[in-house]
Chains A and B, each alone.
Chain A
Amino acid sequence: MNRRNFMKFLGFITGSTFLSSCGIDKGLRKIISYAIPPEKEIIPGEPLFFNTTCTECPALCGIQVKAYEKIFDTERGIYPVKLEGIPDHPINYGTLCIRGQASITRLYNPHRIKDPLIKERDGVFRSISWDQAFQTIISEIEKHKAEKRYNFFISSRTTGSLSLLIDEFCHEFNIKRLPEFEIYNYSAIRKANSFLFGKYSIPHYNIKDADFLLTMGADIFETFISPVSHAVQFSIARKNNNLKWFHVEPHLSLTGICSDKRFTINPGTEIYLLIYILTSIQKRKISSNIPASVGQLIPSLPLDILKEKTGLKEEEILLIRDAYLNSKRPLIITGGVSTRSGSGFEVAVLSGLINWASGSIGSLVDFSREENYLRVGTIEEFVNFLKTIDENNTGLLFLLKTDPVSIFPQHLGVKEKLIRARFKVSLSDSFNETTKICDLILPLSHSLESWGDANPRRGLVNLIQPATKTIFNTKSHGDIIIEIMKRKGKVVSEDFKSFVMSNYQKRYGKDSLNMFIEKGFHEENPSPVRVSFNEENAQLFLRKLKYPEAMKTPLLILSPSLRFFDGRSFDLELLKEIPDPLSTISYGSWISLSEETAKKLNISERDELEITKDQWSIRVPAKIQKGIGKDIFIVQIGGPINYSGMTDPRSGEILSYIEGINIRKTGKNVSIPILSGSMSQEGRGIIPYPIHRTENNKKHKESLYPEHKHENYRWAMTIDLDLCIGCSACVAACYIENNVPIVGINEHLKGREMSWIRVEPFYDEKDGIRFLLMLCQQCDYAPCEPVCPVYATYHNPEGINAQVYNRCVGTRYCSNNCPYKVRRFNWYPHEWEFPRDRMLNPEVSVRQAGVMEKCTFCIQRIRRAHDIAKDEGRSIRDGEVMPACAQTCPTRAITFGNILDKNSSVYKLSKSDRSYRIFEQLGTEPSIYYLGKRRGDE
């Protein structure tokens, strides 16, 4: 080797070693410093709160948005992570329903429309700029104006400033604004009220003041008018005036199960029962406000006819009657399926008469707080409109947040009719059947990204304010309309925000404006409304009253869906992930039928059935369920299945009954994710009946392990099964709060759902259907703790079964050993891709694959409470900490607190004579106490 090679060698070695020693950068993250501080001070790591309005359904609850400032590589922004009710909001009193909780996932839904889209010749959509979009609209308007065509504007229910703006817009471009299209428009009730009391409106039902409630078909906890409000009032009434509540329905609904007593009535025969109640009120001369002239016309029904028509037993009928007569402040609410039948109008009128007779109108039925449905039309009106459309006379068609195409079945040809319009503009946030046929799609911002206001009912205004900047290239409906008008030279105001503000100031003055923005709503005491009883109409009605025929079986009942409302919430993955509380089916649709019906037609579970009636037909797997009448089939609408499109001319409602259907087994066997392993308690006294009395809270067994010392805090929870309505809001809240991943149908079919809290329905002892809320029981002697080899799970000083995710090696021993099976294992890694990663709660870590996870009583909230308490040098107050589930519970069935504190509400409730713990005989000493459910006859 010569000198040169030697040098080469040296050089080579030096270089290589040099290279090998660098390249040690470990993915450095950035901190972004603002150029200028934002006007609303943001303390990094601390949450921000905005008060706004939930627009997931027409109830318009007030919500408080919890947002965090987050940094994603180079962008620094504020992102909402959780929605909660505004504590003193007059509709929802700080609570929220399952759809409201899930509404935040609509904001981060990756399938949202991201840009304005225009349809090409070849029928594919191409994204364009907003400018182009507005230009095309303007030019289209001009064109059709020139060619003397009519333009139309259809929308779902709009209120407040938006509604006003639309009026101006339509007026400006002489567009014909159609009555708003809502499938749940309650027109039967409104018509009945105008017929009897001259008010074409939906009253506000003061359930909280009633001492007896009789609901007929009205699904007051699922979709009916304002479910959360009803749930809240129900619990208040239960606590204050010990509400007694009967429910009469032809099918099986969540509401029915939650009532004290549920009566299955023959479909469409509610009238008989109503008349009977009316007569019996009449007979008892005292305190009937119905004038004799009307009273004498009320037909009296002999009991036996009533029995054979309604299918109710005599004692049942008498029970209802007596309960009604003996109560001081009775209230009857009819709606839902009962008013969506051929005799819907009569049912509504009769219930109106009963309420009038018992003097509930004005007090319990409050017209001064009437729901704001002024612009909402009936299905009739919409159908008539469809008839009028055709190529020559119809130009522009605006569809705002409405999807009639998928709501009506195909054979009615709604699609074909709408297509006839020359140019269809859809304002929508996600793709649906209607957007497909449109020529121009304008992507709408989520209400969490936009300004606006809402006017849910008389005397109440809600604010809608943005909690984040728009995630995609979207605009709010208000801004879009204002922009269009600007393009035309008509400046209403520079943007929708200022429009909203000016409207507010016009009505309530300047000074309360900041208050309004701070609080998120403004309520005024509405001027009282005098309601007069229209005698002639009543007489007329009773004279011409004819009794309906019994419905032809087999009968299909289309019942509203708790999770998807009328189908508008169907594109939220989270709602599909959470099972329907009645059937515990998460994904897909199904048809429920009773065991005897199944036996008769020898249908077994998961068989696919084809249901046909004339041209209308659906294919769904069967689910056998207790508590359903003979030859009655129930399908939940929303999503793939929807109403048959048949309407009732008198009430103008859509019919939810399909008589004389024919059922055919297709022979296919569809696998549907039924999450419940058994619909029965197997006699294990999980929901004991009669209620556990104190004898069950017996002295605890001796343990080999030393007693846990809880010094200052021992967190505990009580769940009142008497108030729990199985609405699953808590489940949704838990998903959002704790970054629980959504795993999809295939995992669900294997039984690998991830929810930390679940609603378990148990169908037992003669249709006694009960809900049980099951979550980690945080046992004192938790079987999961001693078996963990690495102390990933252990008992923390405050009595929580802690789970340290990044210590867990995944033996799954703890889950095996948990008697309540509430631990969840991450079978696969979960992606949180854009924009879902924006939704993650920074207070909770994201679990990686192969790790066990579980409920921690929302430890992050407890930690925060500790933090605040320490700063103020005190201990945590009772009710200061609330886990997500307890916080959102509309009926306040869940109470959380420190059980060492003798004055805490948890301690008091845990000592109640109804309190018991599940599987007490195992000696696990759970710290969740259940309060047993009373029966209607208790």
Chain B
Amino acid sequence: MNKAISKAIEFRYRIEKDVLAAMKKPHIQYWIFLFISVILFVTGMSLWYYQIKTGMGVSGKTHPVGWYMYITNFVFWVGIAHSGTLISAVLFLFRAGFRSSFNRSAEAMTVFAIMTAGLFPIIHLGRPWLFYWLLPYPNERLLWVNFKSPLIWDVFAVGTYFTVSLIFFYVGMIPDLAIARRYATGWKRRLYSFLSLGWQGTPDQWRHYNRLYMFLASFATPLVVSVHSVVSWDFAMSIIPGWHTTIFAPYFVAGAIFSGTAMVITLVVPMRKFFSLEKYITLDHFDSIAKILLLTSLIVSYSYIVEFSMAFYGGNIFEMEVFRYRAFGDFWIFFAIMIICNSIIPLFLFIRKLRRNIKFLFISSLFVNVGMWMERFVIIVTSLSRDFDPYAWGLPSFSTVAIGITLGSFGMFFMLFLIFVKVLPILSITELKEVHE
């Protein structure tokens, strides 16, 4: 009896130790990664400055291709943001045990991804210094925003999503912060004690906490669907052949979860390795998350088929041209990459061995990330460059600035994530305790 208790306590300490070990003095590799991502981020920002100074022309957009890499990135990052909520909130509601080993990093990822995504609508504005005109606020001009415009819906959708996921992320962290406080010293101690909002772990604190967490989880779940639906309506609401379809909402949501899950794997695999968390993030966990990946991949591939067959059976001359062009036109290579990455490679996950093979999983997740970026790019560019009036057909032009800013966004994302792993507990200690008892 006594022994049992002491064993349990000892075990708890071990979990805390292992998890918080990650927050110890960083390894040299860490610094290298951080340095690279910071460099990328800084170059990205300075390129943006250059773009504002010289004019939108440098971003390679043309007439008729008015949207290009920036909107691609926007959609891509919003997509990435999804898995966070999915894994933590939805799986929490479904009581999926394996969740606890991913949720923290997934949530962090969500927050950072939205921060990155949120930049792009501003970057792609012709006059970014006036971005606040998109917000409905009483102003001296007595003007209002146009609520018919999907772009305004975006503002709200993304805004809401960011707020909620930030709160969810933070609330989930409070007990762990309290633990971290116990181990930390100096300014860190002060920081954690401030952040943990005087958490004592008393029973009724726990009671309230659980209620709140449950509530937030159920509140966040619909957002998984809504946000990306709204983003997809940027396209679906328009008249452009190749955009103007009804399946866009589910299609985009699936795609978002797909890419998000992939990104989780991409991040967790190295994390697990560096901080030797094999004990807590086991193969079973990977197995089950790989299943999600497989499922969503199938949904996405299905939507591809649907799109094409709709164009084909619809017999609308404009639609048919766009989809012919998408597959065999100037951007066929992008299309091919997209198909290979999103629809073919994930099929291997039907094999159990591969699902449990970390290396393969990691690599395929990278492919999926690329594939999903391509998907958005292909949808946006091919539809725009071949719309109604043949005279106005045209191509975008190559632009280093756009590419630089795109890389910059990746830099920003990884920078934030790397900082996160050092300053905050990367796994949910309390939940691990629950699970492992």
Contact = CB atoms under 8 A, between A and B. Distances in A.
A and B touching (Cβ–Cβ under 8 A): yes
Contact of A820 (B321, B384, B389): B389
Interface residues of A, number: 55
Contacts of B67: 812-813, 816
Contacts of B149: 786-789, 813
B239 A790 contact: no
Interface stretch (A155-163, A242-250, A823-831): A823-831
A815 B66 contact: yes
Nearest to A820: B389
Contacts of A758: 391
A813 B143 contact: no
A832 interface: no
Contacts of A753: 63
Contacts of B152: 789
Interface stretch (A19-27, A596-604, A677-685): A677-685
A752 B127 contact: no
Interface string A785-820: 011111100000000000000011111110111011
B57 A752 contact: yes
A790 B152 CA distance: 9
B381 to A, nearest CB: 11
Contacts of A762: 390-391
Interface stretch (A32-40, A541-549, A568-576, A845-853): A845-853
Contacts of A691: none
B198 interface: no
Contacts of B351: none
Interface stretch (B128-136, B183-191, B361-369, B424-432): B128-136
A682 B126 contact: no
Contact of A783 (B238, B384, B391): B238
Interface residues on B, range: 35 or more
Given A819-B387, A825-B66, A751 B134 contact: no
B388 interface: yes
Interface string B380-406: 000010011111111101000000000
Q: Which residue of A682, A683, A821, A849 has the most chain B CB atoms within 10 A of its CB atom?
A: A821
A684 B388 contact: yes
B30 interface: no
B370 interface: no
B390 A850 contact: no
Contacts of B146: 786, 788-791
B150 interface: yes
B8 interface: no
Q: Which residue of A747, A758, A819, A922 has the most chain B CB atoms within 10 A of its CB atom?
A: A819
B392 A787 contact: no
B148 A786 contact: yes
A819 B388 contact: yes
Contacts of B131: 809
A816 B127 contact: no
A850 B148 CA distance: 22
A750 interface: yes
Contacts of A584: 391
Nearest to B396: A750
Q: Which residue of A751, A752, A762 has the most chain B CB atoms within 10 A of its CB atom?
A: A751
B240 interface: yes
Interface string A665-697: 000000000011110111110100000000000
Interface string B130-171: 110110000000011110111110010000000000000000
Contact of B63 (A682, A786, A821, A851): A821
A675 B63 CA distance: 11
A787 B134 contact: no
A825 B67 CA distance: 12
Given A810-B126, A850-B55, A750 B62 contact: yes
Main secondary structure of the interface of A (DSSP, over half): loop
B56 interface: yes
B419 interface: no
A209 interface: no
A787 B395 contact: no
B271 interface: no
A825 B239 contact: no
Interface string B23-36: 00000000000000
Contacts of A813: 66-67, 149, 151, 238
A919 interface: yes
A750 B397 contact: yes
Contacts of A680: 390
Interface string A578-598: 000000100000000000000
Given A752-B57, A852-B126, A922-B239, A809 B63 contact: no
A789 B151 contact: yes
Contacts of A811: 124-126, 151
Given A809-B134, A810-B126, A787 B390 contact: no
B239 A812 contact: no
A807 B64 contact: no
A677 B394 contact: yes
Given A790-B134, A815-B64, A681 B390 contact: yes
Contacts of A789: 133-134, 145-146, 149, 151-152, 155
Given A684-B317, A809-B133, A819 B239 contact: yes
A690 B143 CA distance: 49
A484 interface: no
A682 B393 CA distance: 12
Interface in A337-389: none
Interface string B19-59: 00000000000000000000000000000000000111100
A760 interface: yes
Q: Which residue of A683, A809, A815, A852 has the most chain B CB atoms within 10 A of its CB atom?
A: A809
A317 interface: no
A584 B64 CA distance: 17
Contacts of B151: 787, 789, 811, 813
A677 B125 contact: no
A902 B321 CA distance: 41
A789 B130 CA distance: 12
B191 to A, nearest CB: 38
B241 to A, nearest CB: 10
Given A678-B391, A919-B388, A812 B126 contact: yes
B133 A790 contact: yes
B63 A791 contact: no
Contacts of B237: 787
Interface in A891-938: 919, 922
B431 to A, nearest CB: 41
Contacts of B134: 789-790, 809
A680 B155 CA distance: 41
Contact of B55 (A772, A815, A828): A828
A700 to B, nearest CB: 16
Nearest to B392: A821
A513 interface: no
Interface string A498-517: 00000000000000000000
A862 interface: no
25 contacts: A675-B391, A684-B317, A684-B388, A686-B389, A747-B57, A751-B395, A752-B63, A786-B149, A788-B149, A789-B149, A789-B155, A790-B143, A810-B126, A811-B124, A811-B125, A817-B240, A819-B239, A819-B388, A821-B64, A821-B389, A828-B57, A849-B56, A850-B55, A850-B126, A852-B126
Interface of B: 54-57, 61-64, 66-67, 124-127, 130-131, 133-134, 143-146, 148-152, 155, 237-240, 317-318, 321, 384, 387-395, 397
6 closest Cβ pairs, A-B complex: A810-B126, A677-B393, A850-B126, A827-B57, A812-B66, A821-B392
Given A682-B390, A772-B391, A815-B64, 4 more contacts: A751-B395, A789-B145, A825-B126, A850-B126
